[in-house]
Chains A and B, each alone.
Chain A
Amino acid sequence: MEIFPALLSVITDPMLLFAIVLAAAVGMIVGATPGLTASAAIAMLLPITFYMSPLFALAFLYVIGKSGRYGGSIAAILFNTPGTAASAATQIDGYPLARAGKAGKAMKVATISSVIGDLMGDILLVVGVGFIAAIALKLGPPETFAIYFAAFVVIGSVIGKSIVKGLASALLGILVAMVGLDPISSEERYTFGSFDLSNGIGLVPLMIGVFVLGEVFAQLEERRKATGETKENESSADGNDLTWEEYKPCLPHAVRGGFIGAGIGLLPGLGSAIAAFISYGEGKRRAKNPEQWGNGALEGVAAPEAANNAVSGPSMAPLLTLGIPGSTIGAILLGVFLIHGIQVGPTLFLTDKELVYKLFACGMLGIFAYGLIGYFGATQVARLILKIPTNVLYPLIFMTAFVAAYSARGSMFDVTVMTCAGFVGWLMRKYDFNIAAFVISFVLAKGAEETFRQSLLMSDGGALIFVERPIALAFLILGAGAIAFRIRGIMKERKLAQGGLGDA
């Protein structure tokens, strides 16, 4: 029960508490601003955390990630534009509620459900992470490589519209990570004689480029395409208050959503958007009033909101125990650990156990912080967002990207990398490639290569070592199964579409 002393330690540190509250507010604003994502904000703030202590830096960014997920619901409910992909399911019932003058009520349901889901996820993380770390310590290189392989395949094939493009994105991430000196033999790879390239591609400039500059390019494109106007929502006096009687039917959906989100969060790459839609579908299937779902049911806000926030905690488990980030935010946090010289993996719980539990404690306090700010101030946050002039905001973000990329290592080469990564990030978005798979694979590639080559050395070059070990084999089958499952799903969708056309 290391969490209790950790909680006490964090509560008695006013500077850390201030950072948590600030991060909760920043995350909420960023998440609620359409076009801005928590990943972009974290990537942009990453260089600043070089000058902070590891716990302060990690807690600040971790809480922004949590709060950003919740903040997406504000834009989904009020503006019919999901602030994050994860809140797209919230929009289905949230926006009709806002149109009917119940925006305040919907936002309060979203807040309470997010807090319930997020806390459930964090409690499961705190209870289970020690066990996972203990098991992870017993895994050898073949098993670890098989887990990496399964992560690549799941991340590449499950998210996004196309399996081929998802897997291609993951492979591109691996290839970019290979640039530089081979860590084992020190042979140059893909350096083309350049001294700068021999140091490899930095994680920070790549992240800033893909998430921040790429987003600025995408926003410039959106501005040209955007037409139409936002409809003004109705407003009524009782639309902002939420009673226990109103929330009571939402509670089972929130708890179920919490379990769904926590389960999905443990699997790398699936992410909160999938959790939210599964929870919404499952909630509607079990609802007493399914006909009301989609037309403004409060339960339809509770179910996806609890699920998408419950992903946050458990997605840290593969990151901390195996060094495998389950999300883009996890990938950036992995960068923060590495920047501060902390080796992530099963040994983390032997070397920096106190730091890990303090980070969990900060996460839990962050949930309460965004819960309070959201419950009493979501409407004010929404008003603030409406006042942000996006034509000034994005040019400022554009310029911040350059100075932030430079600040990381004081390297002009990093700024060049960031600029090119920004353009590549925009191209990947435009042509439906999978940015999350690209970035996560970039982060995972070095570890995967190391374990792969260690396994080959163990077996004297024989690849059968991966098949002979049952745990390794199980994860390889899991990877293959993920592709097969996805292909089956796509075939089903096509059949349904063809059936639909035939009927017409």
Chain B
Amino acid sequence: MRTYAEGLVLAVVSLVAIWGAWQVPAASPGDTWAGIVPFAASVALLGLSGLLLVGASSQVGDVATARADSGATVQIIVLFIIALIYQQSFRWFGYLLPTAIVAPIVLYMFGVRSWIGLAVSVVICPLVFHLIFFVLLGVFPPYGEVFDLLSWIQG
């Protein structure tokens, strides 16, 4: 079942890639088509996905392992969603505020249960990262379009 799913996902990816390569306009005379390498690579990928699907028919699924994995998978998907929201919130609220909120959440997910530790991380994490990257290395911090804590602190 797992190999079937892998083969199907690869097949879908390769079909999208073939369609994408097909959108590249034809080459001008005397030139090579810009879509030749993406097209060739995606066709080869489609072939490999076919091989995976053929191989899947001779395998037996392991239901017990799949059940054991699902708990961890859910936690990782939750962390991925947090990561997506975190990176998007840089655009809305700058760096400091999202980091202050995300730091204790991720620490909690990794098993930190000390409330003092979590509270300290709210201040320490954004402060330390800000000092290292935006002060010492001189990187220009992302500006929050809705509310920017750094601008508010700096007045």
Contact = CB atoms under 8 A, between A and B. Distances in A.
Interface of A: 48, 51, 164-165, 167-168, 171-172, 174-175, 178, 182, 184-185, 187-190, 192, 213, 216-217, 220-221, 223-225, 390-392, 394-396, 398-400, 402-404, 406-407, 410, 412, 415-416, 418-419, 422-423, 426, 431, 445, 448-449, 452-453, 456-457, 461
Interface in B96-118: 99, 102-103, 106-107, 109-112, 117
B37 A403 contact: no
B32 A189 contact: no
Interface in B69-97: 71-73, 75-76, 79-80, 83-84, 86-88, 90-91, 95
A171 B52 contact: no
Given A164-B51, A391-B111, A453 B36 contact: yes
Contact of B34 (A165, A175, A187): A187
16 contacts: A51-B138, A164-B48, A184-B34, A189-B38, A190-B17, A220-B109, A395-B103, A395-B106, A402-B86, A412-B87, A416-B88, A426-B76, A431-B2, A452-B36, A457-B32, A461-B32
Interface of B: 2, 6, 10, 13, 17, 20-21, 24-25, 27-28, 31-32, 34-38, 41-42, 44-45, 48-49, 51-52, 55, 68, 71-73, 75-76, 79-80, 83-84, 86-88, 90-91, 95, 99, 102-103, 106-107, 109-112, 117, 125, 129, 133, 137-140, 142
Nearest to A404: B133
Contacts of A453: 32, 36-37
Given A217-B80, A395-B110, A168 B48 contact: yes
B116 to A, nearest CB: 13
Contacts of A178: 37-38, 41
A431 B13 CA distance: 16
A466 B28 CA distance: 24
Given A185-B27, A190-B20, A423 B80 contact: yes
- Interface SS majority for chain A: helix
Nearest to A168: B48
A406 B90 contact: yes
Given A182-B34, A184-B31, A415 B90 contact: yes
A419 B25 CA distance: 31
Contact of A174 (B6, B35, B37, B139): B37
A165 B7 CA distance: 10
A391 B13 CA distance: 36
A426 to B, nearest CB: 6
A164 B48 CA distance: 6
Contacts of A168: 10, 45, 48-49, 52
Nearest to A51: B137
Contacts of A48: 137
Nearest to B31: A185
Contacts of B71: 224
A399 B125 contact: yes
Given A168-B49, A184-B32, A399-B103, A175 B42 contact: yes
B140 A391 contact: no
Given A224-B71, A403-B95, A171 B83 contact: no
Contact of B129 (A165, A403, A419): A403
B38 A187 contact: no
Nearest to B90: A412
Contacts of A188: 24
B10 A399 contact: no
A448 B137 CA distance: 35
A391 B17 contact: no
A419 B110 contact: no
B93 to A, nearest CB: 12
Contact of B72 (A190, A225, A395): A225
B111 A217 contact: no
